[in-house]
Chain A
């Protein structure tokens, strides 16, 4: 298994593919590192995200399928949202399916003339005309795609976009196996621009275990598996799941409500993890290769007739989607949240960004910044039916207002006004109003995600206003997360995978790293990702933290603008210096061999 990266490069314009090998395992590791390496090779740095030859990259890591929770696929692409190199991560069956196609990565270039579905197996590549799926929602598309070849039930992953991706909503997502997503920064639009409606990954190949290593590998596997199934820190993701955070964050006054007009609300009980579990949880499912089962599926009953006529829907929920389609929109009802989640899922939009966009539109309408002529519906916090229409309009963009809002909340605020209350930190905020460290971290973070550095956690530390400590925390966290995402593991597995365990796992497969070597490689991958982001237009000094964040009151009181500005300045400098440190030892080594 320690060999060159095996990459399949599909050109949709020509409907032809090429096998490429990269002898860069030591340098790129896999996952995040591999995606960045491939983007360096195939990306068009100075071209538009919608340039036909801009690559969409799916990459897995050296531990994928070999160890529990190594179940993520990394999407590397030029973000249609911000025009910069971006990553988004998803699970489902995608990672194992890609592993068992026999490739380390899939690179898709070119643009098909009509909507197509790309199907990849270990001995097949098909680019199939699926014009009949055009405009079809995520669920119907998934159903139709299950009838396409290759038929490999249970051992396939089905990725697709909905109307939002086709209509180039800049925060359209890619749905993976119904309940998972490459959610943020517009991967769905990147696919849409290629006329790529879906991807089938058919995992039909095998790898023989090297008898020389298999005993040690099985031993390490068993140790990690036991830690995962026994550790409360990992199991909690199965029990209530991430929605267990709603009540604690609300108590901390750190849960955004109604476009972040408030950080606390007595109604939280109606959308808490506990309430969902007791009243709506149907079951949990897992990503392939992970015994945790963190995907919570809620039951939504819907009455459709005068008599007692019901249908039911199965809707996945998590902390962030409940924030996006719930608290941020003032929707304090479990079925209400599930109704909106079902809609946003069908349309194929990121639930966080769509929620924040509609929350801004609601306040803008209320303040008279825009009128109902623009919004086409009287959006009010808590009004589920109005938001259902709003989501539909966002995906289909029937007027200039929605065409602008589909570019992002700040794009709309810049045009219509209301920038002060646009809850955008690099992209639409995630559900953490925990304080200055988080705001700066998301605004400047590589993925503009709460997962970049986990700074919401540092906000809760005693020394949360010590700039050096904050920077050290964010850097340490980022280093670890770059390592984990290069493996490509799920970040819910952090407690089961300290650095030493990752090292043991790698070496049990025949790699031969020591701790320092691995740290050096990770440091270089981190710098590489930042170098790519800067190279494609990232200007941290131009990112503003809107005034709304200064009005926020958490358990610590009001935001401290002096600390926040100083932290932002310092962090900008740290990132610039880091990107400059990237060493591309030998350009030739990046060439396929």
Chain B
């Protein structure tokens, strides 16, 4: 399975098209925050942009922390989310080492990246890419 990587954030222009696309098509919302990928500057726009997005951990700390198995390990990294199992405890968001799970105070559910890759086609600067984990590991060797 492929996973999303914010590989070239040095190229990011801060347009938020990725976040808005995720909110629009995955979370059926118009939102900056109800999105699996959050873009922010690290102290003003002059410092450039960073992406807060699921790193596709395997094993995933959020899944381990979830008491009701609403989050389950996704093969290849990341997690699957079953909303009907979720008791809105927020443990997943606390467990995420990179703060990539947003607890939506309005819907009271976790918002996270499902590695669907939709945002990639809305990045005008090729900052985002879908990567085959097995290949990525091989490339690293």
Contacts and interface: CB of A to CB of B under 8 A. Distances in A.
A292 B43 CA distance: 23
Nearest to A203: B32
Given A178-B44, A206-B106, A225-B122, A289 B29 contact: no
Given A100-B31, A207-B29, A218-B25, A284 B46 contact: no
B17 A179 contact: no
Given A146-B43, A146-B44, A206-B106, A286 B14 contact: yes
B15 to A, nearest CB: 4
Given A214-B28, A289-B20, A206 B15 contact: no
A178 B46 contact: yes
A202 to B, nearest CB: 10
B38 A154 contact: yes
B32 A100 contact: yes
A286 B15 contact: yes
Contacts of A284: 13
B97 interface: no
Nearest to B29: A206
Contacts, number: 96
Contacts of A207: 29-31
A291 interface: yes
A286 B98 CA distance: 25
Interface residues of A, number: 42
A236 B29 CA distance: 31
B134 interface: no
A96 B29 contact: no
B17 A285 contact: no
Interface string A263-293: 0000000000000000000011111111111
A211 B124 CA distance: 27
B29 A209 contact: yes
Contacts of A287: 15
A288 B28 contact: no
A225 B45 contact: no
A21 interface: no
B82 interface: no
B68 interface: no
B16 A289 contact: yes
A209 B24 contact: yes
26 contacts: A66-B30, A143-B43, A146-B44, A153-B41, A154-B32, A155-B32, A155-B33, A155-B38, A177-B45, A179-B45, A203-B33, A206-B29, A206-B33, A206-B104, A206-B106, A208-B28, A208-B29, A209-B28, A218-B24, A225-B122, A286-B13, A288-B14, A292-B15, A292-B124, A293-B15, A293-B125
Given A285-B45, A289-B20, A293-B15, 9 more contacts: A66-B30, A153-B41, A155-B32, A206-B34, A208-B28, A214-B28, A218-B25, A284-B13, A314-B46
List 5 A-B pairs, minimum CB-CB distance, nearest first.
A154-B40, A293-B13, A286-B15, A206-B31, A291-B124
